[in-house]
Structure 1
Amino acid sequence: MSENKVLESIVEQINLRLTEICSLRQDFTKKEDDSFVSKGDLLVQDIVVELINNNLPDHNVISEEDAPFEGVDFDETSSYVIIDPIDGTENFVSGLKEWGVGVSIYTKGKHVGSLILLPELNDFLMTGMKTDKYKSRIIGLSSSLTKSDLIVLPDEGFEYRIIGCSMYNMLSAVRGAYARFENVKGVNCWDVLPGLNLALEHGTYAEVDGSPYSGQILFPTRKYKIKLSSEG
């Protein structure tokens, strides 16, 4: 099965089991970093990993729920699937629909496919798909910003949104529904790789740590500051 067919199968299987996934949103625990993990996260991970293992057995899986990756040697020329089973778990366990699944596939060091899936919003975008493009004055903000960060934002000429889901935010930026989205605090590779690569495909400017992004794999060895912008 090709990489894109695997992404299509992920969409199909998660949608088929969405009721079961959502039934687990109240069964959660707190991780060491004070974030939540639910049994819904773990079920999505199981669904995705099974599809990867069955169809792309030469690929190594990097998933948020397997972190931290201490002592792991990563190779930029190897094959990996980077997964965020549920991005926006705080939203998910709180009963909000703005949560997403992110997957990026790299084969022998080259990006071959990415997926952003927003299951409860019945929306997704994956490599090879067309999408509408919009013009907007809305700037998406990361939920990691503090009150002091928010106070210094310009108060004229912009609309601001804090959604609490990187997949939702990045998909909105790829489509131009946000004029810009950035995370200046730093995030993990699984939070951003799908959005970065879909941005490149759809002509949205993408930046990592102050430099233009060009499709390279990012590993869970540190956090990355990112920006997506329709304005360049």
Structure 2
Amino acid sequence: MQQIISTDEVRFLMQGLIDLIYKNIGDIQRGRFNVEIKPDGSPVTQSDFLVESLVKKYIEEKLPSITFVGEENFSELTTTTPEGYYAILDPIDGTENFCSGLKEWGISFTLWYGHDHLGSLLFLPELGEHLMTGDKLTPIRSRIRGFSSSMCDEILEGMRSTQESRLMGCAVYNLYNVIRGSFARFTNPQGAYSWDLLPGLMLAREHNCDIEVEGKPYHGEFLEPGKKYRVDIRHRYDLHTR
């Protein structure tokens, strides 16, 4: 039976991923304005493919038997049932921000063994911020409610009823900030894919946030790639890990 790597080993693996991105940040930044439009109307840059290729090679060298799912290589033929080591990556989340020259974009990564979560990472390279499994946070008190940028009536109503609200256009940024308390709440009523959400949801659980997925309490279930999930996360200052 294959021995599962420890949390410390997972953290070392994810720190290596961070180092890899910083080592190649010049090439990543140079590709940000080389943009194509996907069939769904969203942008993709040369750097999305570069980051995915770099991380895939790095992870497969460390864990040769792994199933690797990246946003840009996903297809209907991709195995969506986690068996053995299984990694999901969003190489550049917030691509619209990235290709517009904004710094609010990020990389999300999560590693599983079967249905057991091993570790997750939210990483904002140009902001110099990251959060990974096992990190400690000093909780922040905020009254800001963050929303996804996919506009709909529910978001408009939420903004009307909230004293302070933000639309930042990057799930990694939104999830990172609700986990640490810079947002009191983050809502995505239109839904996003597991590569957008799963790493942040697992870190939100670790830091005792209240989480709903598809209107039901979330208890750390694996979210299948290729499907969209609606989420609502509330920061719990009173239960935050110190």
TM-score by length of 1: 0.93
Mapped to 2, the partners of 1:166 and 1:49 lie a distance apart of 21
Matches within 5 A, 1:154-193: 155=160, 158-193=163-198
Shift of residue 224 of structure 1?
Answer: 0.4
Q: Is 2:97 the partner of 1:88? A: no
Shift of residue 154 of structure 1?
Answer: 5.4
Shift of residue 221 of structure 1?
Answer: 4.0
Q: 1:38 to 1:104 in 2, by over 3 A?
A: same
Shift of residue 167 of structure 1?
Answer: 0.3
Q: Is 2:216 the partner of 1:211? A: yes
Cα root mean square deviation, aligned? 1.7
Shift of residue 157 of structure 1?
Answer: 5.1
Q: 1:156 to 1:28 in 2, by over 3 A?
A: closer
Question: Gapped runs of 5+ residues in structure 2?
Answer: none
Shift of residue 72 of structure 1?
Answer: 3.9
| 1:62 aligned counterpart, secondary structure | strand
> C-alpha deviations, 1:31-73, integer Å up to 9, x for none?
1111111111111111111111000122201111013x31444
- What's the counterpart of residue 31 of structure 1? 38
Shift of residue 181 of structure 1?
Answer: 0.3
> C-alpha deviations, 1:135-175, integer Å up to 9, x for none?
111000110014x4454335355200000000000000001
Matches within 5 A, 1:25-174: 25-67=32-74, 69-146=75-152, 148-153=153-158, 155=160, 158-174=163-179
| Residue identity matched to 1:8 | Q
Identity %: 38
| 1:217 aligned counterpart, secondary structure | coil
Question: Gapped runs of 5+ residues in structure 1?
Answer: none
